[in-house]
Amino acid sequence: MKIPEKLKILGHEYRVSFDSKLFMNENVGGGKACGNDLSIVLAGGMPESREAEVFLHEIIELVKYTLKVEISHADLSALSEGLFVAFRDNDLSFSNKD
């Protein structure tokens, strides 16, 4: 998956970057998102499939934050993993471009 440098979520444009130091931090789990400074930071050096799943997880975190949806982190993690597997296993794309 090609991770974009910028991503629009619910009217806000987020910067997407990589930080290899995050990979060493067990408390972060591969990524972090901040609705206040409009950023997503992913750990550098992850396998492609893990990077893609963490990216989806952080997008869901930002939707949750912006819409003030109550969901536990454990449930959000399960949701992101399940969606990732469904999208990847079925080669799903929501783009209407060929």
What pLDDT digit, counting tens, does each position of 11-67 carry?
999 999 999 887 666 666 789 999 999 999 999 888 999 999 999 999 999 999 999
pLDDT at 95: 77
Residue appearing with tokens 């080669």: 91
With a cut of 80, say whether residue 86 has pLDDT above it.
yes
Residue 17 bridge partners (DSSP) = 41
Query: In whole angstroms, what is the distance from residue 36 CA to residue 30 CA?
Result: 19
What pTM was estimated for this model as a whole? 0.90
> Is residue 21 within 8 Å of 36, Cβ to Cβ?
no
Predicted pLDDT at 44: 87
Give the Cα separation of 83 and 16 in Å (integer). 21
Q: Does residue 84 or residue 29 have the better pLDDT?
A: 84
Terminal alpha carbon distance of the chain:
16
In the chain, where the domains are located: 6-89
CATH topology assigned to domain 6-89: Zincin-like (3.30.2010)
